[in-house]
Structure 1
Amino acid sequence: TNLSLTLHSFWPVVHVFSGRGKLEYPEETQDKTLAVLLEQAFRIKDEVAASLQCSQGCVHTQTLSHKLLESHILTITRIVKQLSLNIQTLERQIAQRDSAVCGTTRAVQWLDHKNMAGIGDLRGRVASAEVNSSQRQVLRLQQEVTQLRSAVDAKMNKLQVKVRFHTIWKYWRSP
């Protein structure tokens, strides 16, 4: 009969092994397993309810109903265990992600600190180079000023000599 077919429990096990030999339950597999278990639990519950309504006094039917109820309880227990495993898997995944995020955050902070130190060092080098360049430019300008002063002084001396010569020349030429 229909009721006797459901007495043996059906537990769909879909295991996925990672490359490290670790048993994993991907979300899709977990969802499928859980859906099958829930469907089975509701089907058994409906069968128990139907058998209890159909036969109130038959010992065979009560025994069958009792077995169906036990099967239903076992299926619900398996569902709870599967959910517990799923929760543990998710907690491990969350912990791994949190650890990765924490490590990434530390690495980014270290790189940021290193970059800021590098930028500070570059600013110092640029400032030092600008100071050195400015000092060289000031020295060059001082040398140019000194050269120009020397040239102006030389021309002034020549002009003074010419003015004296003209003055003396005029003095000697005038009667």
Structure 2
Amino acid sequence: MATEQSVRCEVPYFPAVVVSFGLMWLVGLGVAGFRWLRHGPTHPGEFVFLGGLLALTVCIGLLRSRYVVRAVEFSKAQVRLESRAGVRTVRIADVRAVGVEHTGDTASGYVETSLRLDWRDGSRSFDCHHDPTLGPALLRLLPSHVTVEERWEELQEPSSG
């Protein structure tokens, strides 16, 4: 009895938007506190407002992180999209195409593999850790009705910013 094969792609998660908004509210609290210490014109409502926005941003970030897809796993029968909150499955019969794109720069080489899934209800994209074997493994695993397109982007010069 053979075990079912699967291909797994890990999706790193960094909440850039939540972190940037949190830092913005934190800086606002710092500025209001500095003005208050310098006996400038501040209203206590400023602290309540900025503190509330900071707390709201943290809460939204914590809730949102539960629903972000952390891993995509392909098998012959389904695609599993795993998050901390649960698992969503899409039947392979509903999947139309899978796109695999490798990107990077000349200093680091290829560092990221982008995965695009097109199915009957829409499409989703994920940025995974670089995996040069992902495209060929998907070609071997998935049935012939699923188009697998693999593309290696030309390495770009690293940004100096």
TM-score, shorter chain, exceeding 0.5: no
Task: Indicate the structure with greater helix content.
Answer: 1
TM-score between both structures, scaled by the size of structure 1: 0.30
Q: Which has the higher contact order (CA 8 A, sep 6+)?
A: 2
Task: Indicate the structure with greater strand content.
Answer: 2
TM-score between both structures, scaled by the size of structure 2: 0.33
